[in-house]
Structure 1
Amino acid sequence: MCGIVAYIGHRDAYPVVIKGLQRLEYRGYDSAGVALNCGEELNLYKKQGKVAELEAYAKDLDTSGNIGIGHTRWATHGEPNDVNAHPHPSGNGKFALVHNGIIENYAVIKEELVKRGHVFQSETDTEVLMHLIEDVMDKQKCNLFTAVRIALNEVVGAYAIVVISKDNKNELIAARKSSPLVIGIGKNEYFCASDATPIVEYTKNVVYLDDGEIAKINLQEGLKLKTIKNQEITPYVQELELKLEALEKGGYDHFMLKEIYEQPRSIHDCMRGRINLEDQLVSLGGILEYKDQIVNANRIIFVACGTSWHAGLVGEYLFEELARTPVEVEYASEFRYRNPVINEGDVVIAISQSGETADTLAAIELAKSKGALIVGICNVVGSSISRATHCGSYTHAGPEIGVASTKAFTAQVTVLTLMALMIGREKDTISNERFTRLLIDLHNIPDKVESVLKSDAKIQHIADIYKDAPNALYLGRGINFPVALEGALKLKEISYIHAEGYPAAEMKHGPIALIDEEMPTVVIATKDASYEKVVSNIQEVKARKGKVIAIVTKGDSVVSGIADHVVEIPKTDDLLVPLIATIPLQLLSYHIAVMRGCNVDQPRNLAKSVTVE
């Protein structure tokens, strides 16, 4: 949930670090700071607010130096202010550190360091870690690399850190545990970052640090890796697939709008090479080695958080309908605290956009310890989840910069659909006729999403009517219930309007008490097996003078005559409706948020990659 950028090489470090922080601002934007080695001392500049405020503050200050570290913060310990912002200096001013994650035993360490005479300026756990490294260095008379390694053996929690020294402008130290860190290797230069977005402009060659690894990056000696237990590691260099143009807005006002409009392509990219209409085949190469275990699973457990959890709920309907495999969907954040029952033959499928979600990683480790097969579905190549799982499938949605997930959700649902179809075909729990029909319908989804995007102007008009509503209710039945949950979450995240998603049948069991003339009810009312019942729910809302916004199948005449507003979507198989019905809900949330003056891409209190529990 915070962003780290570091540079060492032949360029001026400050412009590289600042540009990198701008690219990482979606990870945290409460405060920002840089530390630069100008050859004589460390210059630290920190500012509450966004990177632009840091830039303005440092405009006329000394920003020279070929080595620098930077940070965008999402506050955990201590409120967002200049003092709590990173980087944090050591007590003697010789070192500075940036840190993502949480040091869980920082209070105990701090108490001991205070007894030894250390004085702290901030409320953060990060400053405690910097002082601990300084203390180790003083007591053991060792170099910085060794001091970092020894100090990290004393801490409990998660970290990605980069440390620089005033006395060495040719070296920086980096380390990680449960929080991502990637090293870019250029020609006589190196980059460090929380993810690859700040690096791709300069090099395609990267090394992803694994848990418990420390890197010494020295311009004379190159890159050297060790574990915190002092074992040497040979760096594994990978080539980035990320493209620079994917990180720009491309003429759109916001990343979120761009990513909504990218969904015809991202869904197509997710399916590309995985379905063969001519031979009637679905193939997911990333899970082929473990296909038999998945096909024969006694039970499948989805673990995820937020939007990914909603994708898992859609997956539950898909897997049980097509593959006839019992499915449970768990909040990853709760899974590890319940001593869950996991038996031999169970398969756990972990879903995460970033592949770095701390709660989901913790759930994976618990499930692995109990002998489950772990399958990953994530978007980021080389991410922690992709390396922690036995097998999995990438969604290939491309970088998602907007904090509120859009194209990642539809890509996850697409992968789950492919997986359910493949397992169902292997188990012979789906007829050839239905398999063929679903395969054709799935192949046509990108074009159908494209057609829904043409309703943007109409959705914008609806948004203008309801932009000041204090509450909203979202209803759906069956596989569209998770769509209602996802629609409500989007509205909450970016417009700050209180919204709740419910199974439509549950409305009369409580939420109907909220219906009045001021509260809009958004209903997914497409033509499916429960259509008549959904129509009844709409009539119940209208009988209480509620306002109804309905997502309907093209050509619908019944709901159109009852609802206040309708948005049509193309007819498709019931199981594939979530891929289309979610699009107008994303647009509705987006336009309402813009009209309310909200920061759509960086909503308050949220960050893109939740790497702390």
Structure 2
Amino acid sequence: MCGIVGVLGRIEAAPRIVDSLKRLEYRGYDSAGVATLVDGALVRRRAEGKLRNLEAVLEITPLKGTSGIGHTRWATHGAPTVSNAHPHQAGSVAVVHNGIIENFLELREEIVEAGAVLETDTDTEVVAHLINLALLKGLSAQDAVAAVLPRLKGAFALAMLFAGEDDLLIGARKGSPLAIGHGEGEMFLGSDAIALSPFTDRITYLEEGDWAVITRSGARIFDRGNQPVERPEAKSAVTSNLMDKGNYKHFMAKEIHEQPEVLGHTLSRYFDYSTNQARVAGAEHLNFKNLSRLIVTACGTAYLAGLVSKYWFEKYARLPVDIDIASEFRYRETPVSGQDTALFISQSGETADTLASLRYCKEAGAAIGAIVNVPESTIAREADMVFPTIAGPEIGVASTKAFTCQLAVLAALALQAGRERGVLSAEKERELVAELTEVPSLALKALAAESDIVKLALPLSKADNALYLGRATSYPLALEGALKLKELSYIHAEGYAAGELKHGPIALIDENMPVFVIAPHDAIFEKTVSNMQEVAARGGRIVLITDARGASESGNAAENVVIMPEMSDIVAPIIYALPVQLIAYHTAVFMGTDVDQPRNLAKSVTVE
């Protein structure tokens, strides 16, 4: 999940690297560091914690030099301390790394026997020492890297800087993304196009197993067999502007309130409002008509978007859906064939487990569709069809607008699948699309309940545990509500299908337990209210999220009621996501946690 940057420039590198790392801090913020070449010598500055701590160090002890590498860390091996912060140095090489070297213990024993003195607890340090040992044997930097890379097991993106080599930067990728940026008399290396956006919009993406020898005049790229290869240069559309919070206290608040607008953008891409039909370019290649099942795979909040879609595909397209958490799917040896279609959902398009699952299905011959927020990402590039969300950059680690835009895309795919399979009538499709066109205005109305949510968030901030309940598409929202609360406030929370209450969770209910019941007035509303009454009978503190009709028919069991506008079934999971997000956000604000960068988390999970 770490972010890496490399610069071979014409002006001082350290300030440029820090500027780039600000765009990568979503990948991790346990520590940060920079190394540059000063009169041919490697010099480092590192700091524990967020990037602002490194900036403070650099203010006191600036770094000169026009060649450098930088890193923002999400800790895997070793605590987030200064000594474990990247770049790591061994002799005449400095290394930054995103990923996990799985055989590092074995390699560590080897280099210790060779006389190396280890200074960190990290897996990355062994890479630096292996390369340095090869250099001490007389190999050139390029030959040393070529000798070491095949020995590394696991996933990695690496950037390497060498003492005395002011015009040399070497990068390598296996399982983790890495891109080269082309400038005028300058060259760059970064985790993604966002990292390179301050420098250039000319990007070359390294493919799996590639490594590159970079000088200011260009880059030579080699495949995993060390054979020279050509990779295309692309023009990136990523903006170089740093995002700002506007008038909001946090990026998350801004992104929650952007949802009416971005949902409008996403829906207008996937629906033809002149005919009230789903029109998803590329969906015809998913072979919906002849499918016997659809495979959906994702992680975290994206997985919960996929779980909502299971209800939609099965209801509106009569298409069975196998949905899996990607980290389970990739190791379960799931039977997949060329007759299958698989959808992969990822905000970043770089999620390691999701990408590995995609490759598993692709090797089996399945058709691959990707729903991503970053069209230039690895998952997008490796998929057969890409269905971008139009959420715009999402800076807050906890996903908000990306989630609801994923739902919008999935709704369009479900309706198109229903039409192609002949089970969704033209009249019903027009009715459903007409309902979905109301999403932006309904989202605005849902956000109007924020003042009521603020009032209930204060007592929630004093709780130790919470429970979320829902049925049908509200069940994934219960899971999402619990996930958001855990992520942001660190309050333990669980989400359950309301019908499962009597199968265990009801034992947790007492007068101190907040219970959130997500219950739009739908065909199963009465069932959910019955579960709510069971909670009330045991003294649980109930917060009911429903519409006006639901509020009037629910009795007086709820301690608090959050009123949503009335809406159709297909719209409800998109709109009811907003109060769930606001509850977690305002609870965290009252508790004083870091809303945009919660502890131990990263925006893009690029390691197992």
TM over 0.5, yes or no? yes
CA-to-partner distance for each residue in 1:567-598, whole Å, 9 max, x for gaps?
22222221221100010010110010111010
Q: How far apart, in 2, do the equivalents of 1:96 and 1:170 lie?
A: 14
Aligned residue number for residue 356 of structure 1? 350
Structure 1 residues 246 and 319: CA distance shift in structure 2, 3 A: farther
Structure 1 unmatched runs, 5+? none
In 2, are the aligned partners of 1:7 and 1:191 still within 8 Å (CA)? yes
Q: How far apart, in 1, do the equivalents of 2:129 and 2:288 lie?
A: 49
SS at match of 1:247: coil
Structure 1 residues 95 and 571: CA distance shift in structure 2, 3 A: same
Q: How far apart, in 2, do the equivalents of 1:232 and 1:522 lie?
A: 58
- Tell me how large the CA RMSD over aligned residues is: 1.6
SS at match of 2:531: helix
Aligned residue number for residue 117 of structure 2? 119
Aligned residue number for residue 313 of structure 1? 307
SS at match of 1:57: helix
CA deviation after TM superposition for structure 1 residue 321, in Å:
0.5
Aligned residue number for residue 9 of structure 1? 9
- Asked if residue 227 in structure 1 is aligned to residue 231 in structure 2, the reply is no
Q: How far apart, in 1, do the equivalents of 2:435 and 2:347 lie?
A: 25
Aligned residue number for residue 47 of structure 2? 47
CA deviation after TM superposition for structure 1 residue 244, in Å:
4.1
CA deviation after TM superposition for structure 1 residue 444, in Å:
1.4
SS at match of 1:69: strand
Aligned residue number for residue 397 of structure 1? 391
Name the stretch that deviates more: 232-241 or 493-502: 232-241
- Asked if residue 420 in structure 1 is aligned to residue 414 in structure 2, the reply is yes
CA deviation after TM superposition for structure 1 residue 103, in Å:
0.9
Q: How far apart, in 2, do the equivalents of 1:9 and 1:245 lie?
A: 20
Name the stretch that deviates more: 77-86 or 578-587: 77-86
- Asked if residue 572 in structure 1 is aligned to residue 567 in structure 2, the reply is yes
Match for 1:151 among 137, 145, 148? 148
Match for 2:377 among 354, 372, 383? 383
In 1, are the aligned partners of 2:349 and 2:379 still within 8 Å (CA)? yes
Report matched runs for 1:176-187 at 5 Å: 176-187=173-184
Name the stretch that deviates more: 182-191 or 255-264: 182-191
In 2, are the aligned partners of 1:39 and 1:166 still within 8 Å (CA)? no
Report matched runs for 1:100-179 at 5 Å: 100-139=98-137, 141-179=138-176
Name the stretch that deviates more: 579-588 or 277-286: 277-286
- Asked if residue 409 in structure 1 is aligned to residue 403 in structure 2, the reply is yes
CA deviation after TM superposition for structure 1 residue 318, in Å:
0.6
Q: How far apart, in 2, do the equivalents of 1:188 and 1:559 lie?
A: 69
Match for 1:512 among 500, 506, 512? 506
Q: How far apart, in 1, do the equivalents of 2:491 and 2:129 lie?
A: 43
SS at match of 2:131: helix
Q: How far apart, in 2, do the equivalents of 1:586 and 1:430 lie?
A: 32
In 1, are the aligned partners of 2:29 and 2:73 still within 8 Å (CA)? yes
Name the stretch that deviates more: 179-188 or 597-606: 179-188
Aligned residue number for residue 604 of structure 1? 599
Q: How far apart, in 1, do the equivalents of 2:198 and 2:261 lie?
A: 23
In 2, are the aligned partners of 1:87 and 1:97 still within 8 Å (CA)? yes
CA deviation after TM superposition for structure 1 residue 245, in Å:
4.8
Q: How far apart, in 1, do the equivalents of 2:209 and 2:300 lie?
A: 28
CA deviation after TM superposition for structure 1 residue 36, in Å:
1.0
Report matched runs for 1:460-539 at 5 Å: 460-539=454-533
Q: How far apart, in 2, do the equivalents of 1:57 and 1:19 lie?
A: 15
Structure 1 residues 304 and 591: CA distance shift in structure 2, 3 A: same
SS at match of 2:543: strand
CA deviation after TM superposition for structure 1 residue 343, in Å:
4.0
Equivalent AA in structure 1 for residue 324 of structure 2: E
Aligned residue number for residue 275 of structure 1? 271
Equivalent AA in structure 1 for residue 265 of structure 2: D
In 1, are the aligned partners of 2:367 and 2:384 still within 8 Å (CA)? yes
Name the stretch that deviates more: 378-387 or 469-478: 378-387
Q: How far apart, in 2, do the equivalents of 1:491 and 1:601 lie?
A: 13
SS at match of 1:484: helix
Q: How far apart, in 2, do the equivalents of 1:343 and 1:180 lie?
A: 27
Q: How far apart, in 2, do the equivalents of 1:182 and 1:259 lie?
A: 27
Q: May I ask how many residue pairs the two structures share in their alignment?
A: 607
CA-to-partner distance for each residue in 1:303-347, whole Å, 9 max, x for gaps?
111111111110100100011011111111111222212244222
Aligned residue number for residue 557 of structure 2? 562
Name the stretch that deviates more: 238-247 or 512-521: 238-247
SS at match of 1:574: coil
SS at match of 2:570: helix
CA-to-partner distance for each residue in 1:47-97, whole Å, 9 max, x for gaps?
22111222222322241111111111111111111111100112x2x2211
Q: How far apart, in 1, do the equivalents of 2:344 and 2:579 lie?
A: 27
In 1, are the aligned partners of 2:514 and 2:542 still within 8 Å (CA)? yes
Equivalent AA in structure 2 for residue 123 of structure 1: D
In 1, are the aligned partners of 2:275 and 2:430 still within 8 Å (CA)? no
SS at match of 1:598: coil
CA-to-partner distance for each residue in 1:158-194, whole Å, 9 max, x for gaps?
1111111121112211111111112222222233222
Structure 2 unmatched runs, 5+? none
Aligned residue number for residue 25 of structure 2? 25
Name the stretch that deviates more: 235-244 or 441-450: 235-244
CA deviation after TM superposition for structure 1 residue 387, in Å:
2.0
Structure 1 residues 42 and 246: CA distance shift in structure 2, 3 A: closer
Match for 1:591 among 583, 586, 589? 586
Aligned residue number for residue 244 of structure 2? 248
Q: How far apart, in 2, do the equivalents of 1:9 and 1:417 lie?
A: 46
Q: How far apart, in 1, do the equivalents of 2:3 and 2:241 lie?
A: 20
SS at match of 1:72: strand
SS at match of 1:34: strand
Report matched runs for 1:83-98 at 5 Å: 83-90=83-90, 92=91, 94-98=92-96
Equivalent AA in structure 2 for residue 134 of structure 1: N
Report matched runs for 1:363-378 at 5 Å: 363-378=357-372
Q: How far apart, in 2, do the equivalents of 1:248 and 1:182 lie?
A: 25
CA deviation after TM superposition for structure 1 residue 555, in Å:
4.5
Equivalent AA in structure 1 for residue 17 of structure 2: V
Q: Report percent identity of matched pairs.
A: 46
